[in-house]
Amino acid sequence: MTALAIVFWLCAGLLLYTHAGYAVVLAVLAALRPRSRRRADTGAVADHVPAVSVIVAAYAEQEVIAGRVANLRALHYPADRLEILVACDGSPDATAARAREAGADVVLELARGGKIRAQDAAVERATGDIVAFSDANVSWEPGALRALVSPFENPHVGYVCGQVTFVNDRGTNQEGVYWRYEMALRRLESRVRSVTGGNGAIYATRRASYLVVDPIMGHDLSFPFNMVKRGWLAVYAPAACASEKMVPSIEGEFARKRRMMSHGWPIVLRGGMLSPRGYDPLYALMIISHRVLRYASPFLHLLVLATNIALLGQGWVYVVALVLQLAVLLAALGAGAVPARPLLVARYYVLTTASLAAGLWDWLAHGTHAGWEPAEGTR
């Protein structure tokens, strides 16, 4: 076998593994571990009711912040055990005033420093034993908070993320397809060891385990692996349900993920994710499988395509492989004219994979600013 063929099969195999094989490995490992191993696996909700501070970091959210506070007030959780804090990150509008009018317990009006620093400031003011976080455009189901704090009965749990459903009544974005698969992987990761990523819609930490991170490094990616490095479990609570309006178009999703990855790559490359210190072998394998290889997928795809072209004439399998790759690219292009579901899924995959590389380029070429803007069409 030539060097080109080795590169082709290695890269193709890694792509197949990170997108599909990893799920099979997790399913096997999860089947071999007792389901009673961790409370978060069962979806059960405990009777324990800790004091919780729910923090909403907000920038220019005057249209939705009152509804967010009202949604939190309506949760099935004792009012005397729930504190609501809204941290306004230099909001140029009436976000702070409307949060107060809606009944937030604490409203912080901060100079613009980015979402992470707004959350840090709110944690310093929080009084709860557990600090939970959410975005301004999210809605939690009535029992979500109870389910979110339930796993903290296990003294080894330091971080819990819930389940988010993306709502899209119309538009072309296929994020829901990907996210359902991602939630399935997260459930398996939680049963096997710890999750490798979270989400901004619904998550919580103990105040004792809260981490202050670089302001350009979001909690979603930096918290889980850092919790594990510090001896905590980072788990998934599927009964803690939230919903969020997704970006309407695939092109808008590309822009959102590109922006997210300009914050994500610093975590991967200099934020400690690649350092094996603090990982056990199993969690190291999970980080490599679900994070490192997933983020490397655009470069693996380019290597597969380039070596595939160079290997034409050395067997029918390379012809088939090239036809399949070109078919996906043509389907992605055709989705603009014919918005059929299979073509839209192909376009979503191509553009969101490209967004990983675009986010790396943005960070390396221009740096990443700590501030953020609400994604278009999500309010």
Question: Could you give the domains of the chain?
Answer: 35-247 (3.90.550.10)
Instruction: Return the number of other C-beta atoms located less than 10 Å from residue 263's C-beta.
Output: 27
* Residue whose tokens read 């099969």: 9
| Helix ranges restricted to H, the chain | 3-16, 22-32, 65-73, 95-102, 115-125, 144-149, 175-192, 219-229, 250-270, 281-287, 293-295, 297-310, 316-334, 341-366
CB-based contacts of 97, cutoff 8 Å, min separation 6: none
Across the chain, which has 379 residues, the per-10-residue mean pLDDT values are 94 98 97 63 63 96 96 96 96 94 96 95 97 96 97 96 85 86 96 96 96 93 97 97 91 93 96 95 98 98 97 94 97 91 95 98 91 65
**DSSP summary character for residue 247:** P
CA distances from 249 to 175, 240, 262, 354, 377 (A): 10, 27, 20, 16, 9
What pLDDT is stored for residue 39 in this prediction? 42
What pLDDT is stored for residue 236 in this prediction? 97
Q: What is the pTM of this model?
A: 0.91
What pLDDT is stored for residue 38 in this prediction? 46
